[in-house]
Chain A
């Protein structure tokens, strides 16, 4: 295992949050390959997983070239759980299709907002990357919205399953916006238009929550009856504290890598 400490530069740390979330989410979504409830959904979750691992790689490469982190394979596959800064939401097992779908809906909308903000940064390379990746995530949010709407307005059973999943996912979705030590410094960074590009986690959460609740109301979900407004976020991921599920996932994800960590692929 690499003993490389977590980066202290605020931008590097923030990009690592993004990259780790994408890697872990991508790995979880890939677990639907071969198991999707219908062929199209099997393909959709597999494609989304492929995108997410690709996005993680793009950020790990940037972190390697510009911020002095280890090479992408080492950073992705050779870190102990305590040095992973992904959120609790992404490391949870896939559960049933309703859980995975609601998680995908919550998660990709949050990623979209982050890419939108990152595309305002001064660094032209990151600016171009974020703009590009945002276009790809648009397909994810489109996919998630289509199914959320159709299953929330479908049969009684589909609706009930979706509501149950919403209750389960929501506290962890709020945890995506955990505040972190370099946040203030990053909020002061000026973007390419002369304005700060990173609004901070609190603002991102409010933005995300307003959009999500608006859609839910549109799909006739009684968000108050569901108790979504008084939920406490599940925190810890950004500081390396995880649920029991991350360790076993990493164990499986890195099994081949660990056979020969220096192998050329």
Chain B
């Protein structure tokens, strides 16, 4: 699964990821480790690119503390992701790892990195439409004209706001005559 994330990463080269700038070497190394942890439902994108890692700190005694936030509150993959993040950091040499999930920096689809959006598109899913200025919640009007990830056409229609996972909706493209899925804006 990690390899898949790396492969898709090559195609999104040059686009900005979600690893913060100006980190110490140690912190950067841990962020890079997490950038290799795939999202279990869309394995081409890492938990970092998805934007669910909201904080990573290292205490003086070397203990690593990570804060995650769920995409959707009912996300069934959350416990799995907490465990995988913890294991990846322990494997990378951290002595103690504490992973906590909070809503203090709640997830929105704007947290997905540019590189992440491109990886989602390469995976065959339409990335979430960008939020228009002044719009405070998910922009459902934008969902009705999702761009087809295959041909780019906006001559599409939403078939259902609920798809195979909580974060995807179902669409149909009138130009390709094919169904597609969209990563939902939130």
User: Interface of A with B (CB < 8 Å)?
Assistant: 40, 43-44, 46-48, 50-55, 57-58, 124-125, 128-129, 131-136, 138-139, 142-143
Contact = CB atoms under 8 A, between A and B. Distances in A.
Contact of A139 (B73, B107, B108, B184): B184
Interface string B70-82: 1011111000000
Given A50-B76, A51-B72, A51-B73, A58 B166 contact: no
A58 B108 contact: no
Contact of A124 (B74, B104, B138): B104
B40 interface: no
B162 A139 contact: yes
Given A40-B160, A131-B106, A139-B161, A47 B166 contact: yes
B163 interface: yes
20 contacts: A43-B162, A44-B160, A44-B162, A46-B162, A47-B162, A50-B74, A51-B74, A54-B70, A54-B73, A128-B104, A129-B106, A131-B106, A132-B107, A132-B108, A132-B186, A138-B138, A138-B140, A139-B161, A142-B161, A143-B162
B103 interface: yes
Interface in B87-113: 102-108
B132 to A, nearest CB: 15
B170 A132 contact: no
B163 A58 contact: no
Interface in B39-87: 70, 72-76
Contacts of A55: 73-74
A134 B137 contact: yes
A48 B164 CA distance: 12
A109 to B, nearest CB: 15
A50 B72 CA distance: 10
Contacts of B73: 51, 54-55, 57-58, 132-133, 136
Contact count band on B:
20 to 34
Contact of B103 (A53, A58, A143): A58
Interface in B158-185: 159-164, 166, 170, 184
B145 to A, nearest CB: 15
Main secondary structure of the interface of A (DSSP, over half): helix
Contacts, number: 75
Q: What 10 pairs across the A-B complex have the smallest Cβ distances?
A: A54-B74, A132-B106, A54-B73, A47-B162, A44-B162, A50-B74, A40-B160, A129-B103, A51-B74, A135-B137
A116 to B, nearest CB: 10
Main secondary structure of the interface of B (DSSP, over half): loop
Contact of B163 (A43, A53, A124): A43
A55 to B, nearest CB: 6
Nearest to B137: A135
A40 B103 contact: no
Nearest to A129: B103
B41 to A, nearest CB: 13
Nearest to A48: B162
B159 A51 contact: no
A50 B74 CA distance: 6
Interface in B127-173: 137-138, 140, 159-164, 166, 170
Contacts of A44: 160-162
A131 B166 CA distance: 18
Contacts of B166: 47, 50-51
B186 A54 contact: no
Contacts of A53: 74
Most chain B CB neighbours (cut-off 10 Å) among A47, A125, A143: A47
A136 B72 contact: yes
Contacts of A50: 74, 76, 166
Given A50-B74, A51-B166, A132-B73, A139 B138 contact: yes
Given A54-B75, A57-B73, A143-B161, 16 more contacts: A43-B162, A43-B164, A46-B162, A52-B74, A55-B73, A58-B73, A124-B104, A128-B104, A132-B103, A132-B106, A132-B108, A135-B137, A135-B186, A136-B72, A138-B137, A138-B140
Contacts of A58: 73, 103
